[in-house]
Amino acid sequence: MGSTKFGRVMLGSVLSVLAGTQGVLAEELNLYTIREPGLIQPLIDAFTQSTGVTVNTIFLQDGVAERVIAEGDKSPADVLMTVDAGVLVDLVEKGLTQSVESEVLSTTIPETLRDDDGHWFALSMRARAVYVTKDLDLTGITYEQLADPAWKGKVCIRSGLHPYNVALTGSFIAHHGEEAAEKWLTGLKANLARPAAGGDRDVARDIMGGLCDIGVANSYYVGLMRSGAGGPEQEEWAKAIRMILPTFENGGTQVNITGAAVARHAPNKDQAVQFLEYLVSDEAQAIYAKANFEYPVNANATVDPLIAEYGALTPDTIDIVKGVRFRAAASQMAERIGFDN
């Protein structure tokens, strides 16, 4: 009788251990992401190898908020990852995120690149940069100077209604107000060498072709072109330019971010926070920098050499959310002055 009881106790203990082990092995989280799977998969693989937590990735080209709203409080989403600060703000305003308290996140990420209440966090940055022809004697420029008549007929840029440029104009409004911003945008339009169109890499192409001397484009495209990711033709475009990291007067360089938030009804909140903390670690930030030539938010992380040679990035001193708040006004402004016409 005693032996049988002992055997049952032992069996129960073994089953408990096995259940516990299976629980550890079964740890997982569900990631809803707008970020292209190929760019984040190396990070996911490294996280799983380091922690044993499986990441189930659901790629959504757009409509993250709509998907989570439709799923309601039964949504399996743990982490919501986007490539734009405005989308993160929208997720918060729609009540789809929750506050996270993490010393790792709050001490690693600059205050201007995370939500005041812990609802979202930046993971990497890309700068709105200026490309210049290699033989131009120019080592620095402010965003304000892009409207200087000295650049008349010498500037290339994509559509003023593209989100990249709407974000830049929104930040300009945050710094100087709408009246000054409209005067600036009108001056920038007057300096265009061609209609505002195409993509950021086309700016490098047109500088090489002698159509313009300078242009506005995102920083990471330089790395993509120089690395050969865009093919031999784009490597030649990159050889024709230098990149300058402009700043606002009394400010820093305008950036946008890849960022993430923990979903409001996250079934695996602990793993979600663990994932975010890993993504700002030195190791993960180095992977980020290499994968898409973006700037790390962790000051201790290494910037890829293909963009590091252009100097250190000093993100703008104005909270990124302030620029987001003016994006609607910026878009209306570009339409009002006929920036693309």
* pLDDT 10s digits, 207-266: 999 999 999 999 999 999 999 999 999 999 999 999 999 999 999 999 999 999 999 999
Are 194 and 325 contained in the same domain? yes
Q: How many helices (H) and strands (E) does the chain have?
A: 15, 9
Count the Cβ atoms, other than its own, within 10 Å of residue 15: 10
Q: Share the mean pLDDT of the chain.
A: 92
Establish if 116 belongs to a structural domain: yes
Return the higher-pLDDT residue of 39 and 176.
176
Are 54 and 39 contained in the same domain? yes
Q: Are 78 and 271 spatial neighbours (Cβ–Cβ below 8 Å)?
A: yes
- List residues forming the annotated binding site for Fe cation: 220-221
Instruction: Write out the DSSP string of 43-82.
Output: HHHHHHHHH--EEEEEE-SS-HHHHHHHHGGG----EEEE
Model-level pTM greater than 0.75? Answer: yes
Mean pLDDT value of segment 68-90: 96
Q: Residue 222 belongs to what domain range? A: 126-254+314-336
Are 224 and 85 contained in the same domain? no
Q: Are 301 and 289 spatial neighbours (Cβ–Cβ below 8 Å)?
A: yes
Number of structural domains the chain divides into: 2
* pLDDT 10s digits, 97-133: 999 999 999 999 999 999 999 999 999 999 999 999 9
Please report, for the domain that includes residue 230, its CATH number.
3.40.190.10
* pLDDT 10s digits, 33-65: 998 878 889 999 999 999 999 999 999 988 899
Q: Are 222 and 238 spatial neighbours (Cβ–Cβ below 8 Å)?
A: yes
Q: Which of 112, 113, 114, 73 is nearest to 96 (CA)?
A: 73
Query: Is pLDDT at 8 greater than 60 in this prediction?
Result: no
Reading the block at residue 245, the tokens are: 């990291």
Residue 58 bridge partners (DSSP): 32
71: which residues sit within 8 A by CB, 6+ positions away? 77
- List residues forming the annotated binding site: 220-221
- What local confidence, expressed as pLDDT, does residue 26 receive? 61
% of the chain at pLDDT higher than 90:
87
Establish if 20 belongs to a structural domain: no
Are 130 and 222 contained in the same domain? yes
Establish if 308 belongs to a structural domain: no
Count the Cβ atoms, other than its own, within 10 Å of residue 27: 15
Are 91 and 54 contained in the same domain? yes
- What local confidence, expressed as pLDDT, does residue 61 receive? 82
Q: Which of 57, 53, 55 is nearest to 23 (CA)?
A: 53
Are 193 and 225 contained in the same domain? yes
Reading the block at residue 110, the tokens are: 């600059």
